[in-house]
Amino acid sequence: MVKHRGMTLVEILLALAIFGIIITAVYSVFGTSMRSYFNIEDDIALQKSAQEMLNKITDDISTTKTIVEATVSTFTFVNAKGESVRYEISGDKILRNGGQLNPEKIGVINLEFNYFGNAAFLDENKDGVVDMNELDRNQDGELTDTELTDISLVRIKMKLKKKNQQMELSSSVKLWK
Ligand SMILES: [Ca+2]
Ligand SMILES: [Ca+2]
């Protein structure tokens, strides 16, 4: 005769514990993949926006006819059409003539300009590169007048963020003034 008996309390607790472990495992795998899915989404969106912004700035700066002001955080120039254009960083925004360039969801951590020349006589330390310090002939910490006309290349560096994703990218623009 087969004895029908209910589960003992110990068996019920054991079953609950095993069930709990399985649920926790499933949930944590699911949670992790959801999180990484959203991170990847953010990452792709960030990369796309960042590249678009950088291309826009790069194309714009490549039309430089005359440089008006060149600092690490701003670049002002007159383009081939005679328009005056100014790039700067303000808070977490990149501004072009005062208008915000970055989409609302993309924050700007940093925007930096670096300038290089190609006149060999300016290369004081003979390392083959005319850097910002060497462009600054009178060593007053800023580039003005003829120092500005010696600039032949602008390097743009941006650091952007979307939620907890960050990325840094840069480009160089040769100037054909
Ligand atoms: Ca040098
Ligand atoms: Ca100077």
Q: Is residue 1 part of a domain?
A: no
| pLDDT tens-digit series, residues 92-121 | 999 999 999 999 989 999 999 999 999 999
What's the number of domains the chain is made of?
Answer: 1
Please say whether the beta carbons of 124 and 132 come within 8 A: no
CA of 83 to the centre of ligand 2 (A): 25
Q: Is residue 3 part of a domain?
A: no
In the structure, ligand 2 is a single-atom ion and the residues with CB under 5 Å from it are 136, 138, 140, 147
pTM assigned to the model: 0.80
How many Cα neighbours within 13 Å face the side chain of 84? 5
* CA 175 to chain CA centroid, nearest Å: 22
Whole-Å CA distances, 130 to 51, 56, 116, 151, 153: 27, 26, 5, 9, 10
Other CB atoms within 10 Å distance of the CB of residue 42: 16
CA of 153 to the centre of ligand 1 (A): 14
* pLDDT for position 110: 96
Q: Is residue 52 part of a domain?
A: yes
Q: Is residue 122 part of a domain?
A: yes
Give the structural domain span for 61. Answer: 9-174
Closest-approaching ligand to the CA atom of 150: 2
